[in-house]
């Protein structure tokens, strides 16, 4: 049976089925079927958290949920949902409410990029990207932050190194991630000390992101790529340690530092070379 068909959010079944535990932390992870999202979900499951796995690919989600349940003995609930559509965040929350699933931790990982000169990229595709990268994580945080604050949980937003400086060649994508970083840092201050908020800002990572965003031939894809497991490990550790911003890898920490010391125009020119060379 193919569960990748279009439609509203749907709670799927996986084998084996482990019932959610009232005393366990529950982490809701979007974009959990592959890449950084999958690795982050694995980190939470390995530490004993029940996980709610959200992505468009239902069949793949079943496999991931089953593997987590067998390996870690946690409740792993797959939920098929396309969070790039209008109203999808509210629909997801309603579906989780109906299933009695209440997250203590929200991991906003789902997202994609659009690469190319701004005058040539597809405006409708960028509108979809803005909805997924900006509106969905904001609405999910709005829905769940009050409960997360009461229960001492947290929010982990997957941004990007592109959030730290403007990104010619990925103009709108960089802007969406800059929003997510600013949003995360402000929300962290609002919820402190009751709850933790972390922005994970990885550089170019070896996932399907490059192909989805049309970036396979971009300059950023020509260098060494980070391993998604390493990115997730750094992000998870920073989240548990109370870090508000995590930049994995020495190369990208250096890039972030240069943004602070270079004149703004010089930093943008350097970013342009990174994306387009």
At 160, which CATH number?
3.40.50.720
> Model pTM?
0.88
Please state the domain count of the chain.
1
Annotated catalytic residue, options 144, 173, 236, 259: 173
pLDDT at 1: 44
Annotated catalytic residue, options 177, 179, 259, 272: 177
pLDDT at 274: 60
Residue 5 covered by a domain: no
Residue 160 covered by a domain: yes
Distance CA 106, CA 4 (A): 23
Those residues whose C-beta lies under 8 Å from the C-beta of residue 138, and which sit 6 or more positions away, are 183
Residue 2 covered by a domain: no
The whole domain housing 110 covers: 10-276
Residue 118 covered by a domain: yes
pLDDT at 182: 97
Decide: 20 and 76 in contact? Cβ < 8 Å.
Answer: no
- 142 counts as catalytic: no
- 259 counts as catalytic: no
Decide: 75 and 21 in contact? Cβ < 8 Å.
Answer: yes
Residue 3 covered by a domain: no
Residue 244 covered by a domain: yes
Residue 1 covered by a domain: no
Decide: 36 and 109 in contact? Cβ < 8 Å.
Answer: yes
pLDDT at 40: 98
What residues in the chain have per-residue pLDDT under 70?
1-6, 205-206, 208-223, 250, 252-277
Residue 4 covered by a domain: no
pLDDT at 100: 95
């Amino acid at each position: 049976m193919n569960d990748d068909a279009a439609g509203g959010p749907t709670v799927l079944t996986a084998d084996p089925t482990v019932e959610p535990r009232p005393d366990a932390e529950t982490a809701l992870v979007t974009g959990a079927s592959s890449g950084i999202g999958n690795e982050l979900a694995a980190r939470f499951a390995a530490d004993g958290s029940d996980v709610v796995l959200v992505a468009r690919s239902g069949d793949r989600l079943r496999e991931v949920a089953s593997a987590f349940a067998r390996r870690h003995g946690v409740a792993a609930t797959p939920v098929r949902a396309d969070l790039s559509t209008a109203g999808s965040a509210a629909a997801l929350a309603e579906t989780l409410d109906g299933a009695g699933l209440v997250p203590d931790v929200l991991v906003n990982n789902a997202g994609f990029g659009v690469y190319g000169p701004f005058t040539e990229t597809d405006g409708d595709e960028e509108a979809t990207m803005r909805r997924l990268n900006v509106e969905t994580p904001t609405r999910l945080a709005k829905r769940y932050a009050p409960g997360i604050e009461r229960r001492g949980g947290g929010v982990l937003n997957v941004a990007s190194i592109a959030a730290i400086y403007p990104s010619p060649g990925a103009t709108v994508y960089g802007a969406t991630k800059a929003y997510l970083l600013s949003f995360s840092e402000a929300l962290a201050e609002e919820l402190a000390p009751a709850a933790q908020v972390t922005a994970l800002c990885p550089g170019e990572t070896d996932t399907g992101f490059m192909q989805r965003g049309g970036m396979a031939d971009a300059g950023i894809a020509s260098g060494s790529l980070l391993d998604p497991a390493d990115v997730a490990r750094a992000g998870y550790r920073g989240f548990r340690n109370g870090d508000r911003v995590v930049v994995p890898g020495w190369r990208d920490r250096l890039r972030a530092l240069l943004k602070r010391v270079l004149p703004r125009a010089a930093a943008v020119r350097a970013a342009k070379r990174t994306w387009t060379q």
